Amino acid sequence: MATIKLLDCTLRDGGYLNDWKFGYDEIITVFERLVSAGIDVIEIGFLDERRTYDKNRTILPDVLSVNRTFDGMDKKDAMVVGMIDYGTCSIEKVIPQKDSFLDGIRVIFKKHIMNEALDFCSQLKGLGYKVFVQAVSVTSYNDEEFAILLNRVNEVVPYAFSIVDTYGLLHKNQLIHYFELADKALVEEISLGYHSHNNFQLGYANCIELTEKKISRNLLLDGSLYGMGKGAGNTPIELLAMYMRENYGAGYHLSQLLEAIDVTIMDCYRTTPWGYGLKFFIAASNDCHPNYVAALMEKKKLSVKSINEILQTIPKEKKLLYDSGLIAELYEEYQAISCDDSSDIVKLAREWEERNILLIGPGKKGQESSRIHEYCKKNNSIVVSVNFIPENIMVNYVFMSNAKRYVKLAGYLADAMSRQENLKTIATSNVTRAKGRFDYVLAYGNLLDEEALIKDNPLFMLLKLCKQIGVKSVALAGFDGYEKSVDTNYVNPNMEYVFSKEKAEVLNEDTASGIVRAQMPCPIHFITESLYERYLN
Protein backbone atom coordinates (compact mmCIF):
# COMPACT_ATOMS: atom_id res chain seq x y z
CA MET A 1 0.00 0.00 0.00
CA ALA A 2 1.32 3.38 -0.98
CA THR A 3 2.39 5.99 1.52
CA ILE A 4 0.79 9.27 0.52
CA LYS A 5 2.82 12.40 1.15
CA LEU A 6 1.94 16.06 0.67
CA LEU A 7 4.36 18.50 -0.94
CA ASP A 8 3.86 22.24 -0.55
CA CYS A 9 5.08 24.51 -3.36
CA THR A 10 3.80 27.90 -2.12
CA LEU A 11 7.20 29.57 -1.87
CA ARG A 12 8.11 28.43 -5.38
CA ASP A 13 4.96 28.33 -7.54
CA GLY A 14 3.37 31.17 -5.60
CA GLY A 15 6.37 33.32 -6.46
CA TYR A 16 5.19 33.74 -10.04
CA LEU A 17 2.65 36.20 -8.67
CA ASN A 18 5.01 38.47 -6.72
CA ASP A 19 8.35 37.85 -8.42
CA TRP A 20 9.13 35.63 -5.43
CA LYS A 21 9.28 38.68 -3.15
CA PHE A 22 7.38 37.38 -0.14
CA GLY A 23 9.57 39.28 2.34
CA TYR A 24 12.01 37.57 4.68
CA ASP A 25 9.68 37.49 7.69
CA GLU A 26 6.86 36.04 5.58
CA ILE A 27 9.18 33.42 4.07
CA ILE A 28 10.17 32.23 7.51
CA THR A 29 6.56 32.38 8.76
CA VAL A 30 5.31 30.23 5.89
CA PHE A 31 8.17 27.76 6.30
CA GLU A 32 7.68 27.41 10.06
CA ARG A 33 3.91 26.97 9.71
CA LEU A 34 4.35 24.27 7.08
CA VAL A 35 6.82 22.46 9.30
CA SER A 36 4.48 22.77 12.28
CA ALA A 37 1.58 21.50 10.16
CA GLY A 38 3.54 18.33 9.44
CA ILE A 39 3.74 18.79 5.67
CA ASP A 40 6.02 16.06 4.37
CA VAL A 41 7.93 17.93 1.64
CA ILE A 42 8.44 21.71 1.54
CA GLU A 43 9.67 23.41 -1.61
CA ILE A 44 11.38 26.67 -0.67
CA GLY A 45 11.83 28.24 -4.11
CA PHE A 46 13.80 28.32 -7.34
CA LEU A 47 17.54 28.04 -7.87
CA ASP A 48 18.36 30.40 -10.74
CA GLU A 49 21.87 31.73 -11.22
CA ARG A 50 20.55 34.65 -13.31
CA ARG A 51 19.23 36.25 -10.13
CA THR A 52 21.19 37.94 -7.36
CA TYR A 53 20.73 37.02 -3.73
CA ASP A 54 17.88 38.80 -1.96
CA LYS A 55 16.83 37.47 1.42
CA ASN A 56 13.31 38.74 0.75
CA ARG A 57 12.90 36.51 -2.30
CA THR A 58 12.56 32.76 -2.82
CA ILE A 59 14.40 32.72 -6.12
CA LEU A 60 18.07 32.22 -5.27
CA PRO A 61 21.25 32.08 -7.36
CA ASP A 62 22.75 28.97 -5.77
CA VAL A 63 22.50 26.48 -2.93
CA LEU A 64 24.79 28.54 -0.69
CA SER A 65 22.15 31.27 -0.84
CA VAL A 66 19.57 28.79 0.42
CA ASN A 67 21.83 28.20 3.40
CA ARG A 68 22.09 31.96 4.02
CA THR A 69 18.31 32.28 4.20
CA PHE A 70 17.34 29.09 6.02
CA ASP A 71 20.32 27.91 8.07
CA GLY A 72 19.35 27.51 11.70
CA MET A 73 15.71 26.77 10.88
CA ASP A 74 14.31 23.59 12.40
CA LYS A 75 12.82 21.49 9.62
CA LYS A 76 11.93 18.63 11.99
CA ASP A 77 10.75 15.66 9.89
CA ALA A 78 10.09 17.66 6.72
CA MET A 79 12.06 17.06 3.57
CA VAL A 80 13.17 20.43 2.13
CA VAL A 81 13.62 20.82 -1.62
CA GLY A 82 14.35 23.50 -4.19
CA MET A 83 13.58 23.59 -7.88
CA ILE A 84 15.73 24.12 -10.96
CA ASP A 85 14.27 24.91 -14.36
CA TYR A 86 16.88 23.00 -16.35
CA GLY A 87 19.35 25.38 -17.96
CA THR A 88 18.97 28.19 -15.43
CA CYS A 89 21.31 26.86 -12.74
CA SER A 90 24.54 25.07 -13.56
CA ILE A 91 25.88 22.14 -11.55
CA GLU A 92 28.70 24.40 -10.31
CA LYS A 93 26.13 26.37 -8.30
CA VAL A 94 25.08 23.25 -6.39
CA ILE A 95 27.19 22.24 -3.39
CA PRO A 96 27.13 18.63 -2.08
CA GLN A 97 23.98 17.74 -0.16
CA LYS A 98 25.88 17.05 3.05
CA ASP A 99 26.72 20.78 3.19
CA SER A 100 23.28 21.96 2.11
CA PHE A 101 20.05 22.88 3.88
CA LEU A 102 18.26 21.19 0.99
CA ASP A 103 17.48 17.50 1.09
CA GLY A 104 16.39 17.32 -2.51
CA ILE A 105 16.09 19.19 -5.81
CA ARG A 106 13.24 19.09 -8.29
CA VAL A 107 14.15 19.55 -11.96
CA ILE A 108 11.61 20.75 -14.50
CA PHE A 109 12.16 20.48 -18.23
CA LYS A 110 10.29 20.50 -21.52
CA LYS A 111 10.15 17.51 -23.82
CA HIS A 112 12.74 18.69 -26.35
CA ILE A 113 15.53 18.85 -23.73
CA MET A 114 14.56 15.67 -21.89
CA ASN A 115 17.86 13.84 -22.32
CA GLU A 116 20.07 16.74 -21.26
CA ALA A 117 17.87 17.40 -18.22
CA LEU A 118 17.99 13.77 -17.11
CA ASP A 119 21.77 13.75 -17.38
CA PHE A 120 21.72 16.80 -15.10
CA CYS A 121 19.48 14.89 -12.67
CA SER A 122 22.10 12.13 -12.52
CA GLN A 123 24.72 14.74 -11.60
CA LEU A 124 22.52 16.08 -8.79
CA LYS A 125 21.97 12.56 -7.51
CA GLY A 126 25.73 12.09 -7.51
CA LEU A 127 25.98 15.08 -5.15
CA GLY A 128 23.77 13.25 -2.68
CA TYR A 129 20.39 14.93 -3.34
CA LYS A 130 17.02 13.28 -3.53
CA VAL A 131 16.15 14.14 -7.12
CA PHE A 132 12.62 14.78 -8.36
CA VAL A 133 12.12 14.48 -12.13
CA GLN A 134 9.34 16.87 -13.18
CA ALA A 135 7.99 16.34 -16.70
CA VAL A 136 6.27 19.65 -17.38
CA SER A 137 3.39 19.86 -19.84
CA VAL A 138 2.87 16.12 -19.63
CA THR A 139 0.07 16.41 -22.20
CA SER A 140 2.67 17.30 -24.84
CA TYR A 141 3.88 13.66 -24.73
CA ASN A 142 2.16 10.97 -26.76
CA ASP A 143 2.27 7.42 -25.39
CA GLU A 144 5.41 6.48 -27.31
CA GLU A 145 7.27 9.62 -26.20
CA PHE A 146 6.11 9.11 -22.62
CA ALA A 147 7.40 5.53 -22.65
CA ILE A 148 10.80 6.76 -23.86
CA LEU A 149 10.85 9.31 -21.03
CA LEU A 150 9.99 6.70 -18.41
CA ASN A 151 12.75 4.38 -19.63
CA ARG A 152 15.25 7.21 -19.31
CA VAL A 153 13.96 7.98 -15.81
CA ASN A 154 14.56 4.36 -14.82
CA GLU A 155 18.19 4.80 -15.86
CA VAL A 156 18.53 7.69 -13.39
CA VAL A 157 16.42 6.12 -10.60
CA PRO A 158 15.46 9.45 -8.98
CA TYR A 159 13.65 9.75 -5.67
CA ALA A 160 10.44 10.70 -7.51
CA PHE A 161 8.91 11.22 -10.91
CA SER A 162 6.04 13.70 -11.18
CA ILE A 163 3.28 14.14 -13.73
CA VAL A 164 3.11 17.91 -14.17
CA ASP A 165 -0.12 19.29 -15.62
CA THR A 166 1.37 22.72 -16.30
CA TYR A 167 -1.71 24.22 -17.90
CA GLY A 168 -4.42 22.31 -16.05
CA LEU A 169 -5.54 20.27 -19.06
CA LEU A 170 -6.01 16.83 -17.51
CA HIS A 171 -9.42 15.36 -16.83
CA LYS A 172 -9.70 12.21 -14.76
CA ASN A 173 -9.40 9.64 -17.54
CA GLN A 174 -6.39 11.37 -19.09
CA LEU A 175 -4.66 11.66 -15.72
CA ILE A 176 -5.27 8.02 -14.88
CA HIS A 177 -3.92 7.03 -18.30
CA TYR A 178 -0.58 8.81 -17.71
CA PHE A 179 -0.52 7.65 -14.09
CA GLU A 180 -1.00 3.98 -14.96
CA LEU A 181 1.60 4.14 -17.72
CA ALA A 182 4.09 5.59 -15.23
CA ASP A 183 3.20 3.17 -12.44
CA LYS A 184 3.60 0.20 -14.75
CA ALA A 185 6.90 1.33 -16.26
CA LEU A 186 8.84 2.85 -13.36
CA VAL A 187 10.97 0.80 -10.99
CA GLU A 188 9.20 0.40 -7.66
CA GLU A 189 11.57 2.50 -5.57
CA ILE A 190 10.69 5.66 -7.53
CA SER A 191 7.87 7.65 -5.93
CA LEU A 192 5.14 8.90 -8.24
CA GLY A 193 3.92 12.50 -7.97
CA TYR A 194 1.27 14.79 -9.40
CA HIS A 195 1.43 18.58 -9.78
CA SER A 196 -1.85 20.17 -10.85
CA HIS A 197 -3.16 23.52 -12.02
CA ASN A 198 -6.77 24.59 -11.67
CA ASN A 199 -7.72 25.75 -15.16
CA PHE A 200 -10.61 23.30 -15.12
CA GLN A 201 -11.10 23.41 -11.33
CA LEU A 202 -9.99 19.77 -11.22
CA GLY A 203 -6.77 19.93 -9.19
CA TYR A 204 -8.29 18.77 -5.90
CA ALA A 205 -10.62 16.24 -7.53
CA ASN A 206 -7.77 14.70 -9.51
CA CYS A 207 -5.63 14.41 -6.38
CA ILE A 208 -8.45 12.59 -4.60
CA GLU A 209 -8.77 10.25 -7.56
CA LEU A 210 -5.09 9.30 -7.26
CA THR A 211 -5.35 8.56 -3.54
CA GLU A 212 -7.80 5.80 -4.41
CA LYS A 213 -5.44 4.06 -6.81
CA LYS A 214 -3.98 0.84 -5.43
CA ILE A 215 -0.25 1.13 -5.99
CA SER A 216 2.75 -0.18 -4.07
CA ARG A 217 5.00 2.86 -4.56
CA ASN A 218 4.85 6.14 -2.60
CA LEU A 219 2.52 8.84 -3.88
CA LEU A 220 3.38 12.56 -3.73
CA LEU A 221 0.63 15.17 -4.13
CA ASP A 222 1.57 18.82 -4.71
CA GLY A 223 -0.43 21.70 -3.29
CA SER A 224 0.02 25.25 -2.09
CA LEU A 225 -1.50 27.45 0.58
CA TYR A 226 -4.88 28.70 -0.62
CA GLY A 227 -3.91 27.30 -4.04
CA MET A 228 -1.39 30.13 -4.57
CA GLY A 229 0.32 29.65 -7.90
CA LYS A 230 0.78 30.68 -11.48
CA GLY A 231 -2.34 31.30 -13.54
CA ALA A 232 -5.35 29.42 -12.25
CA GLY A 233 -3.39 28.33 -9.19
CA ASN A 234 -2.74 24.91 -7.67
CA THR A 235 -4.56 22.44 -5.49
CA PRO A 236 -5.03 24.06 -2.05
CA ILE A 237 -2.76 22.20 0.37
CA GLU A 238 -5.23 22.80 3.20
CA LEU A 239 -7.90 20.83 1.32
CA LEU A 240 -5.51 17.94 0.78
CA ALA A 241 -4.48 17.98 4.45
CA MET A 242 -8.14 17.98 5.52
CA TYR A 243 -8.93 15.07 3.18
CA MET A 244 -5.96 13.07 4.42
CA ARG A 245 -6.97 13.63 8.05
CA GLU A 246 -10.55 12.60 7.49
CA ASN A 247 -9.94 9.62 5.22
CA TYR A 248 -6.49 8.30 6.13
CA GLY A 249 -6.02 9.45 9.71
CA ALA A 250 -3.05 11.65 8.77
CA GLY A 251 -1.77 13.96 11.49
CA TYR A 252 -1.58 17.22 9.58
CA HIS A 253 -2.37 20.30 11.69
CA LEU A 254 -4.87 22.35 9.72
CA SER A 255 -4.76 25.26 12.15
CA GLN A 256 -1.11 25.92 11.24
CA LEU A 257 -1.95 26.03 7.52
CA LEU A 258 -4.90 28.34 8.12
CA GLU A 259 -2.73 30.67 10.21
CA ALA A 260 -0.19 30.90 7.37
CA ILE A 261 -2.99 31.69 4.92
CA ASP A 262 -4.49 34.34 7.19
CA VAL A 263 -1.22 36.02 8.17
CA THR A 264 0.66 35.94 4.85
CA ILE A 265 -1.15 34.50 1.85
CA MET A 266 -4.32 36.59 1.97
CA ASP A 267 -2.27 39.78 1.70
CA CYS A 268 -0.76 38.37 -1.51
CA TYR A 269 -4.20 37.39 -2.79
CA ARG A 270 -5.65 40.84 -2.24
CA THR A 271 -2.76 42.37 -4.17
CA THR A 272 -2.53 39.84 -7.01
CA PRO A 273 -5.43 37.38 -7.05
CA TRP A 274 -5.12 33.98 -8.69
CA GLY A 275 -7.50 31.14 -9.42
CA TYR A 276 -9.97 29.89 -11.97
CA GLY A 277 -10.91 32.46 -14.60
CA LEU A 278 -12.17 32.79 -18.14
CA LYS A 279 -8.68 33.21 -19.61
CA PHE A 280 -7.43 29.99 -18.08
CA PHE A 281 -10.56 28.05 -19.01
CA ILE A 282 -10.31 29.18 -22.64
CA ALA A 283 -6.62 28.24 -22.72
CA ALA A 284 -7.20 24.81 -21.20
CA SER A 285 -10.20 24.05 -23.42
CA ASN A 286 -7.99 24.74 -26.44
CA ASP A 287 -5.00 22.83 -25.02
CA CYS A 288 -2.79 25.89 -25.33
CA HIS A 289 -0.56 28.25 -23.38
CA PRO A 290 -2.61 30.92 -21.51
CA ASN A 291 -0.38 33.68 -22.88
CA TYR A 292 -2.00 33.12 -26.28
CA VAL A 293 -5.39 33.90 -24.75
CA ALA A 294 -4.01 36.91 -22.88
CA ALA A 295 -2.50 38.33 -26.07
CA LEU A 296 -5.83 38.09 -27.89
CA MET A 297 -7.87 39.40 -24.98
CA GLU A 298 -5.59 42.42 -24.67
CA LYS A 299 -6.65 43.44 -28.17
CA LYS A 300 -10.13 44.10 -26.73
CA LYS A 301 -11.46 43.63 -30.23
CA LEU A 302 -12.38 39.95 -30.30
CA SER A 303 -15.40 38.06 -29.07
CA VAL A 304 -14.78 34.82 -27.16
CA LYS A 305 -16.01 32.96 -30.24
CA SER A 306 -13.37 34.66 -32.36
CA ILE A 307 -10.64 33.98 -29.78
CA ASN A 308 -11.53 30.30 -29.79
CA GLU A 309 -11.45 30.19 -33.57
CA ILE A 310 -7.97 31.74 -33.67
CA LEU A 311 -6.63 29.41 -30.99
CA GLN A 312 -7.82 26.43 -33.00
CA THR A 313 -5.49 27.46 -35.84
CA ILE A 314 -2.33 27.23 -33.70
CA PRO A 315 -0.19 24.30 -34.90
CA LYS A 316 -0.22 21.44 -32.39
CA GLU A 317 3.53 21.58 -31.82
CA LYS A 318 3.26 25.27 -30.90
CA LYS A 319 0.24 25.13 -28.60
CA LEU A 320 2.13 24.83 -25.33
CA LEU A 321 5.21 26.81 -26.42
CA TYR A 322 4.11 30.44 -26.46
CA ASP A 323 5.15 32.34 -29.58
CA SER A 324 4.20 36.03 -29.58
CA GLY A 325 5.01 36.45 -33.26
CA LEU A 326 2.84 33.51 -34.22
CA ILE A 327 -0.25 34.72 -32.37
CA ALA A 328 0.15 38.22 -33.84
CA GLU A 329 0.30 36.67 -37.31
CA LEU A 330 -2.74 34.45 -36.70
CA TYR A 331 -4.68 37.43 -35.34
CA GLU A 332 -4.02 39.46 -38.46
CA GLU A 333 -4.87 36.54 -40.73
CA TYR A 334 -8.15 35.99 -38.90
CA GLN A 335 -9.12 39.64 -38.94
CA ALA A 336 -8.26 40.03 -42.61
CA ILE A 337 -11.26 38.03 -43.78
CA SER A 338 -11.38 38.54 -47.51
CA CYS A 339 -14.42 40.10 -49.12
CA ASP A 340 -15.20 41.96 -52.30
CA ASP A 341 -16.27 45.38 -51.06
CA SER A 342 -16.15 47.18 -54.42
CA SER A 343 -19.93 47.53 -54.77
CA ASP A 344 -20.31 48.78 -51.18
CA ILE A 345 -17.54 51.32 -51.71
CA VAL A 346 -19.37 52.61 -54.79
CA LYS A 347 -22.64 52.92 -52.86
CA LEU A 348 -20.96 54.79 -50.01
CA ALA A 349 -19.21 57.07 -52.46
CA ARG A 350 -22.56 58.13 -53.90
CA GLU A 351 -23.69 59.15 -50.39
CA TRP A 352 -20.45 60.65 -49.01
CA GLU A 353 -18.65 62.14 -52.00
CA GLU A 354 -18.11 65.89 -51.55
CA ARG A 355 -19.93 65.81 -48.21
CA ASN A 356 -18.79 66.99 -44.76
CA ILE A 357 -18.24 63.94 -42.54
CA LEU A 358 -18.27 64.11 -38.73
CA LEU A 359 -16.77 61.10 -36.98
CA ILE A 360 -17.80 60.65 -33.34
CA GLY A 361 -15.56 58.51 -31.16
CA PRO A 362 -16.46 56.94 -27.80
CA GLY A 363 -14.57 59.49 -25.69
CA LYS A 364 -16.53 61.38 -23.05
CA LYS A 365 -16.15 64.67 -24.86
CA GLY A 366 -18.17 63.19 -27.67
CA GLN A 367 -21.21 63.76 -25.47
CA GLU A 368 -20.90 67.55 -25.79
CA SER A 369 -24.06 67.53 -27.86
CA SER A 370 -24.69 71.28 -28.15
CA ARG A 371 -21.32 71.89 -29.80
CA ILE A 372 -21.77 68.91 -32.11
CA HIS A 373 -25.35 69.87 -33.07
CA GLU A 374 -24.22 73.38 -33.89
CA TYR A 375 -21.41 72.10 -36.13
CA CYS A 376 -23.67 69.62 -37.94
CA LYS A 377 -26.35 72.27 -38.59
CA LYS A 378 -23.82 74.71 -39.97
CA ASN A 379 -22.05 72.19 -42.20
CA ASN A 380 -24.90 69.83 -43.11
CA SER A 381 -22.68 66.97 -41.92
CA ILE A 382 -23.08 63.23 -42.28
CA VAL A 383 -22.53 61.85 -38.76
CA VAL A 384 -20.74 58.53 -38.26
CA SER A 385 -20.28 57.03 -34.79
CA VAL A 386 -17.35 54.68 -34.27
CA ASN A 387 -17.85 51.37 -32.41
CA PHE A 388 -20.62 52.85 -30.23
CA ILE A 389 -23.93 54.75 -30.43
CA PRO A 390 -24.13 58.13 -28.65
CA GLU A 391 -27.22 58.75 -26.54
CA ASN A 392 -27.95 62.41 -27.27
CA ILE A 393 -26.77 62.73 -30.86
CA MET A 394 -28.57 61.51 -33.96
CA VAL A 395 -26.15 59.65 -36.20
CA ASN A 396 -26.53 58.59 -39.83
CA TYR A 397 -24.11 55.66 -39.78
CA VAL A 398 -22.61 53.35 -37.19
CA PHE A 399 -19.13 52.07 -38.09
CA MET A 400 -17.99 48.84 -36.44
CA SER A 401 -14.54 47.31 -36.68
CA ASN A 402 -14.35 45.84 -33.17
CA ALA A 403 -16.11 42.47 -32.90
CA LYS A 404 -16.08 42.47 -29.10
CA ARG A 405 -17.78 45.87 -28.90
CA TYR A 406 -20.29 44.85 -31.55
CA VAL A 407 -21.37 41.87 -29.45
CA LYS A 408 -22.09 44.25 -26.57
CA LEU A 409 -23.69 46.80 -28.88
CA ALA A 410 -25.89 44.45 -30.92
CA GLY A 411 -29.03 44.79 -28.77
CA TYR A 412 -28.74 48.56 -28.45
CA LEU A 413 -28.08 48.85 -32.19
CA ALA A 414 -31.24 46.91 -33.02
CA ASP A 415 -33.23 49.21 -30.74
CA ALA A 416 -31.69 52.33 -32.32
CA MET A 417 -32.47 51.08 -35.82
CA SER A 418 -36.09 50.42 -34.89
CA ARG A 419 -36.40 54.06 -33.79
CA GLN A 420 -34.46 55.52 -36.74
CA GLU A 421 -35.31 53.96 -40.07
CA ASN A 422 -32.53 55.68 -41.98
CA LEU A 423 -29.73 54.61 -39.62
CA LYS A 424 -27.22 52.55 -41.59
CA THR A 425 -24.48 50.18 -40.51
CA ILE A 426 -20.94 49.86 -41.84
CA ALA A 427 -18.74 47.00 -40.64
CA THR A 428 -15.34 45.66 -41.50
CA SER A 429 -15.20 42.06 -42.66
CA ASN A 430 -13.90 40.74 -39.34
CA VAL A 431 -17.23 41.55 -37.64
CA THR A 432 -20.05 39.03 -37.96
CA ARG A 433 -23.61 40.30 -37.59
CA ALA A 434 -25.81 38.48 -35.11
CA LYS A 435 -28.84 38.62 -37.44
CA GLY A 436 -29.28 39.75 -41.02
CA ARG A 437 -26.51 41.69 -42.72
CA PHE A 438 -24.83 45.06 -42.41
CA ASP A 439 -25.69 47.74 -44.95
CA TYR A 440 -22.04 47.97 -45.97
CA VAL A 441 -19.20 45.49 -45.39
CA LEU A 442 -15.64 46.68 -46.05
CA ALA A 443 -12.52 44.54 -46.46
CA TYR A 444 -10.70 44.78 -43.13
CA GLY A 445 -7.24 44.22 -44.62
CA ASN A 446 -7.61 47.08 -47.10
CA LEU A 447 -8.10 49.67 -44.37
CA LEU A 448 -5.12 48.87 -42.11
CA ASP A 449 -2.32 51.34 -41.42
CA GLU A 450 0.75 49.12 -41.54
CA GLU A 451 2.96 51.82 -40.00
CA ALA A 452 0.81 52.31 -36.90
CA LEU A 453 1.31 50.69 -33.50
CA ILE A 454 -2.35 49.70 -33.65
CA LYS A 455 -2.78 48.84 -37.32
CA ASP A 456 -6.56 48.51 -37.09
CA ASN A 457 -7.19 51.78 -35.24
CA PRO A 458 -10.76 52.56 -36.41
CA LEU A 459 -9.95 56.25 -36.86
CA PHE A 460 -7.21 55.40 -39.36
CA MET A 461 -9.57 52.99 -41.14
CA LEU A 462 -12.24 55.64 -41.55
CA LEU A 463 -9.80 58.31 -42.69
CA LYS A 464 -8.50 55.93 -45.32
CA LEU A 465 -12.09 55.26 -46.43
CA CYS A 466 -12.93 58.98 -46.53
CA LYS A 467 -9.90 59.75 -48.67
CA GLN A 468 -10.70 56.88 -51.02
CA ILE A 469 -14.27 58.10 -51.48
CA GLY A 470 -13.31 61.75 -51.84
CA VAL A 471 -15.24 63.46 -49.06
CA LYS A 472 -15.23 67.25 -48.82
CA SER A 473 -14.00 67.48 -45.20
CA VAL A 474 -13.65 65.47 -42.01
CA ALA A 475 -14.27 66.62 -38.44
CA LEU A 476 -13.70 64.68 -35.22
CA ALA A 477 -15.56 64.65 -31.90
CA GLY A 478 -15.10 62.29 -28.98
CA PHE A 479 -11.59 61.29 -29.98
CA ASP A 480 -10.26 62.40 -26.61
CA GLY A 481 -6.96 60.53 -26.69
CA TYR A 482 -5.41 58.03 -24.32
CA GLU A 483 -4.91 58.76 -20.63
CA LYS A 484 -3.60 56.74 -17.71
CA SER A 485 -6.74 57.21 -15.60
CA VAL A 486 -9.16 54.31 -15.91
CA ASP A 487 -12.50 56.10 -15.68
CA THR A 488 -12.05 59.32 -17.65
CA ASN A 489 -11.49 58.31 -21.26
CA TYR A 490 -14.64 56.61 -22.48
CA VAL A 491 -18.39 57.08 -22.39
CA ASN A 492 -18.66 53.46 -21.28
CA PRO A 493 -16.01 52.32 -18.75
CA ASN A 494 -16.26 48.79 -20.17
CA MET A 495 -14.58 50.08 -23.33
CA GLU A 496 -11.58 51.29 -21.37
CA TYR A 497 -7.97 50.48 -22.22
CA VAL A 498 -5.71 50.78 -19.18
CA PHE A 499 -2.24 52.13 -19.93
CA SER A 500 0.69 53.61 -18.10
CA LYS A 501 1.23 57.33 -18.58
CA GLU A 502 4.20 56.62 -20.83
CA LYS A 503 2.27 54.14 -22.98
CA ALA A 504 -0.64 56.58 -23.32
CA GLU A 505 1.71 59.31 -24.54
CA VAL A 506 3.27 56.97 -27.10
CA LEU A 507 -0.18 56.02 -28.42
CA ASN A 508 -1.31 59.65 -28.59
CA GLU A 509 1.77 60.57 -30.61
CA ASP A 510 1.33 57.54 -32.86
CA THR A 511 -2.33 58.41 -33.49
CA ALA A 512 -1.38 61.96 -34.41
CA SER A 513 1.20 60.55 -36.81
CA GLY A 514 -1.47 58.32 -38.33
CA ILE A 515 -3.72 61.33 -38.90
CA VAL A 516 -0.86 63.03 -40.74
CA ARG A 517 -0.15 59.86 -42.75
CA ALA A 518 -3.78 59.80 -43.88
CA GLN A 519 -2.94 62.84 -46.06
CA MET A 520 -6.47 64.18 -46.17
CA PRO A 521 -6.89 66.82 -48.89
CA CYS A 522 -8.11 69.37 -46.33
CA PRO A 523 -7.33 69.92 -42.60
CA ILE A 524 -9.16 67.74 -40.06
CA HIS A 525 -11.19 69.77 -37.56
CA PHE A 526 -11.45 68.75 -33.89
CA ILE A 527 -14.92 69.75 -32.71
CA THR A 528 -14.16 68.61 -29.16
CA GLU A 529 -10.87 68.79 -27.29
CA SER A 530 -8.37 66.02 -28.02
CA LEU A 531 -4.94 65.07 -26.69
CA TYR A 532 -3.93 64.28 -30.25
CA GLU A 533 -3.93 68.01 -31.10
CA ARG A 534 -0.84 68.74 -29.01
CA TYR A 535 1.16 66.43 -31.29
CA LEU A 536 -0.27 67.96 -34.46
CA ASN A 537 0.60 71.57 -33.64
The stretch 400-422 carries a mean pLDDT of 78
Q: Is the predicted pLDDT of residue 79 greater than 60, yes or no?
A: yes
- Helical (H) or strand (E) element with 160: strand 160-164
Neighbours of 502 (CB within 10 A): 9
Say how far apart CA 458 and CA 361 lie, in whole Å: 9
Band of pLDDT at residue 490, cut at 50, 70 and 90: low
Task: Name the nearest CA neighbour of 29 among 268, 242, 244.
Answer: 268
Sequence-ordered list of residues with C-beta below 8 angstroms from that of 348, at least 6 positions apart, any chain:
426, 440, 465, 469
pTM strictly above 0.85? no
Mean pLDDT score across all residues of the chain: 91
Q: How far is Cα 158 from Cα 189, in angstroms, rounded to an integer?
A: 9
Is the pLDDT score of 371 beyond 50? yes
Angle between the 458-469 and 501-517 helix axes, to the nearest 10 degrees? Answer: 10
The Cα 55–Cα 358 span in angstroms is: 60
> How far is residue 312 from each of residues 131, 324, 421, measured CA to CA in Å?
37, 16, 40
- 3-state secondary structure string across 452-475: CCCCCCHHHHHHHHHHHHCCCEEE
Torsion-angle region of 87 (φ positive above 0: left; ψ -120 to 50: alpha; else: beta): left
pLDDT confidence of residue 491: 46
Give yes or no for residue 536 having a pLDDT over 60: yes
Q: Left if phi > 0, otherwise alpha if psi is -120 to 50, otherwise beta: which for 375?
A: alpha
Among 159-163, 214-218, 445-449, top mean pLDDT goes to: 159-163
- The sign of the CA dihedral 70, 71, 73, 75 is positive
Is the confidence at residue 1, as pLDDT, over 50? yes
Q: What is the pLDDT of residues 312-341, one digit of tens each?
A: 999 988 998 899 999 999 988 887 776 889
pLDDT in tens, 283-302: 989 989 999 999 998 877 77
The whole-number average pLDDT for the span 216-245 is 96
